[in-house]
Amino acid sequence: MTQKARAPLKPLDEALADLLGRAVPLAGSDTVSTFDADGRVLAQSAMSPLQVPPQDNSAMDGYAVRSADIAAAGVALQVSQRIAAGQAGAPLAAGTAARIFTGAPVPAGADAIVMQEDCEPLDEGARVRINAVPQPGQWIRRAGEDIRLGAQVLAAGTRLTPAALGLAASIGLAELQVARRPRVALFSTGDELVMPGQVQPAEMPPGAIYNSNRFVLRAMLLRLGCEVTDLGIVPDQREATVAALRRASEGHDLILTSGGVSVGEEDHIKPAVQSLGSLDLWQIAIKPGKPFAYGRVGGAHFMGLPGNPVSSLVTFCLLVRPFLLRLQGAQDVAPKGIASSAGFDWPRADKRREFLRVRHAPDGTLERFDNQSSGVLTSAAWADGLVDNPAGQTIARGDRVRFLPFSELLS
């Protein structure tokens, strides 16, 4: 009897493109306070109903002047008015200066600001000596130089950051239209799994392990703005797995599991999903994280991650995270790699694309965690991010490598 040939490993970029092609943005949106929109994905572009700044204003504390009145340094001018931010000044008379503060409107007739460090008050502030010859336009922020009336300030599909919220507030938007949160059902499989607090360490039965994946995945889902239903640990039984999947498919956009996507006799995810819907078992050409499953159960997407904790984390970062962002309509879902210098040697090239746990050393180079096993979660807690190392590639100290910071991957 001939053995069935194994399917070739699926390249990561091909797998991700396949997943994103299935990630149809969720229907519906939420209107939320701009205060509460951090991390959400904008469902409707934000257009500016005004220009910013609304009028020419001063970029410095100093004096507003007519540059033509100051042909040489040392000219003394009468101070005709004082203008603070939020006040409107009178037109500036020729031969006078206006004391002005940062953000205050520039009075009509003035064409330059001289910073106060270049000025000398005289007669208790009634006059001022200008000790630098100003250039027309200096230290004036022009009306609309930041945002033009009617301009698109934030595009639909933008994932909102604190700076983006400030930008929305600067054009008067108290509320924003954002994509609704993905509803995700999460559970783990495995009779060996025990929850912290359920059994004390000294009383753990042989072969039992604490369920760390449940904590890692739930936290990452929440950081992505998902509404999470935690269904706990499902026993390694076909009937229990089918029941959990059927429950999870109701009212959720994605079912996410860890463990049980191998081909062992106790791995029931594959037949359970297939009995309720459809499933593809992929072998992704990455290390760690080769086994990965995608399917459908009812109206919900299904994704099955490997059980080893680092494999589970890495496949979430590389495949699940961009999928969830695309479900919310986000356009920019790829993590931004940073060219960095390796402070380590990696002489053993692998046929798979590797993701090595690293962190920045004091000299700015990347140092590698010694044990890169997929079961060593210490490596991920220790690391700043991952080195994305191409298949068949060795690394020598000083080589330039592609660094993916966890600040990109875990938020």
Determine contact, residues 47/353, Cβ cutoff 8 Å.
no
Q: What is the pLDDT of residues 382-397, one digit of tens each?
A: 999 999 999 999 999 9
Question: Which pLDDT does position 267 carry in this prediction?
Answer: 65
| Last residue of one domain, picked from the residues 307, 327, 347 | 327
**6 assigned to some structural domain:** no
**Would you give the distance in Å from CA 63 to the centre of its chain?**
43
Quick one: pLDDT band at residue 99, thresholds 50, 70, 90? very high
Q: How far apart are CA 279 and CA 255, in angstroms?
A: 12
Residues 192, 306 share a domain: yes
| Last residue of one domain, picked from the residues 327, 355, 382 | 327
More reliable by pLDDT, 7 or 238 = 238
Percent of the chain with pLDDT over 70: 96
Q: What is the pTM of this model?
A: 0.86
| Region for residue 174 given its phi and psi (left: phi exceeds 0; alpha: psi -120 to 50; beta: otherwise) | alpha
Residues 136, 77 share a domain: yes
Quick one: pLDDT band at residue 265, thresholds 50, 70, 90? very low
Residues 298, 188 share a domain: yes
Residues 266, 316 share a domain: yes
Determine contact, residues 365/342, Cβ cutoff 8 Å.
yes
Residues 254, 319 share a domain: yes
Q: What is the pLDDT of residues 100-141, one digit of tens each?
A: 999 999 999 999 999 999 999 999 999 999 999 999 999 999
Q: How many domains does the chain have?
A: 4
Question: Which pLDDT does position 5 carry in this prediction?
Answer: 58
**169 assigned to some structural domain:** yes
Residues 175, 89 share a domain: no
**247 assigned to some structural domain:** yes
Residues 130, 21 share a domain: no
Q: Looking at residues 260-280, what average pLDDT do you find? A: 77
CATH number for the domain harbouring residue 127: 2.170.190.11
Question: Which pLDDT does position 383 carry in this prediction?
Answer: 98
Per-position DSSP letters for 7-67, written without gaps between them: PPPBPHHHHHHHHHHH-PPPS-EEEEEGGG-TTPBBSS-EE-SS-BSSS-EESSSEEEE-G
**Would you give the distance in Å from CA 274 to the centre of its chain?**
34
CATH number for the domain harbouring residue 34: 3.90.105.10
Per-position DSSP letters for 289-348, written without gaps between them: --EEEEEEETTEEEEEE-SSHHHHHHHIIIIIHHHHHHHTT-S--S---EEEEB-S-B--
Task: Give the pair of three-digit tokens for residue 78.
Answer: 């009468």
Q: How far apart are CA 160 and CA 40, in angstroms?
A: 6
Determine contact, residues 337/409, Cβ cutoff 8 Å.
no
Q: How far apart are CA 371 and CA 357, in angstroms?
A: 9
Task: Give the pair of three-digit tokens for residue 57.
Answer: 């204003």
Residues 186, 101 share a domain: no
| Widest distance between CA atoms in the chain | 107
Quick one: pLDDT band at residue 6, thresholds 50, 70, 90? low
**333 assigned to some structural domain:** no
Residues 303, 398 share a domain: no
55, 54, 50, 32: which is closest to 42 by C-alpha? Answer: 32
Residue span of the structural domain in which 323 resides: 12-26+181-327
Residues 263, 207 share a domain: yes
Residues 276, 398 share a domain: no
Residues 169, 124 share a domain: no
CATH number for the domain harbouring residue 245: 3.40.980.10
Task: Give the pair of three-digit tokens for residue 389.
Answer: 């190392």
More reliable by pLDDT, 257 or 281 = 257
* Among 2-6, 82-86, 215-219, the least confident range: 2-6
Nearest 5°: phi and psi at 219? -65, -40
**18 assigned to some structural domain:** yes
